[in-house]
Amino acid sequence: ILNTYHRFVIMLDGFDEMKFAMAPNDFNHISAQIRNMATVDSKLLLLGRPDSIESEEEKSRLTSSSFHNIPLKADSAPDFDSLRIVFLSKEEYLKLIRNFLNSVPDTTSRRKPLDQLISMVESLNLGDILSRPVQAKMLAEVAGDPDVDLSAISRFILYDLFIKRILRREEEKSVRRHLGTAGRLHFMRLLAWWLWTVKKTRTFAASEVPLEIVQKFHIQNVSLDGLRRELLTRKIHRRL
C-alpha cells in the first residue's frame, strides 16, 4: 500500500547475478514483474553489471515500454534511464583507503603511521584494480594488518586474497557445506580453461557450461541443473 503512495525508493541489487542463471522465459517473466512494480512507483533502482544484458531485445524487454521500433506500448510502466557508475580516481581510492584505516583501531599498536601506509600504497604497481571499490577496500584491510608486508603485494596476490575470502565466506554457510574450497577452485580452473580455449569470450550463460565439467562435481540427490547453479554461486570469475 505504501508503495502506491510513492513512499518507497526500491533498490534491486545484484540483477546481473540473478540474470546469470535465468532461462529466457525466466528473464521475460522477471522483467515483466519489475516493470509492473515500476508502474506503481517509478522510484525504482535496478543495479547490476551492464554485461548481464546480452542483446537489444533483452534491453528493450527490461527497460522500455516499446516493442522495439514499433510505435506501440507494451505496458504502462515508464522507460528506464541507464546510468553507469564510473571507476574511482586515484585521489578517490586513496581517500577511501585512508578513511578506512582511520576508522579501524590499531589494537596491536604495531601498525605503521597512516601517511607511510598511504605512500606505500601509492608505490604499488597494481594497474587499475584499485579503481574498483571492492579491491580498494580489500587492500585497505591488508594494509591495516601489521604482519603483512605491503610492499610485496601484487595484483595477483590481491586477487588470490579476494578469491579465498569469498570462498571462505561460502564455506561458512550451511547450504554450501556440500562443496568445499578445493572443489570450487577446481571448478573455476576448469571453467577458466574452457572459456579461454573453447568459448573464447569473457561472458557466458549458465546453461552453456559443458555438462562434462559439471558432472565432475557430484552432490548426492542434486540434479545437474541444481549442481550447475551451486557451482556458479557467487560467480567469482564475473567479479574480477
Per the confidence metrics, is the pTM higher than 0.85? no
Q: What is the pLDDT of residues 102-148, one digit of tens each?
A: 998 877 777 888 999 999 999 998 888 899 888 899 899 888 888 88
Q: For the chain, give the secondary structure using H, E and C.
A: CHHHHCCCCEEECCHHHHHHCCCHHHHHHHHHHHHHHHHHCCCEEECCCHHHCCCHHHHHHHHCCEECCEEEECCCCCCCCCCCCCCCCHHHHHHHHHHHHHHCCCCCCCCCCHHHHHHHHHHCCCCCHHHCHHHHHHHHHHHCCCCCCHHHCCHHHHHHHHHHHHHHHHHCCHHHCCCCHHHHHHHHHHHHHHHHHHHCCCCCCHHHCCHHHHCCCCCCCCCHHHHHHHHCCCCHHHHC
**Amino acid letter at 201?**
T
Q: What is the pLDDT of residues 135-175, one digit of tens each?
A: 899 899 888 888 888 888 998 888 887 787 777 776 766 55
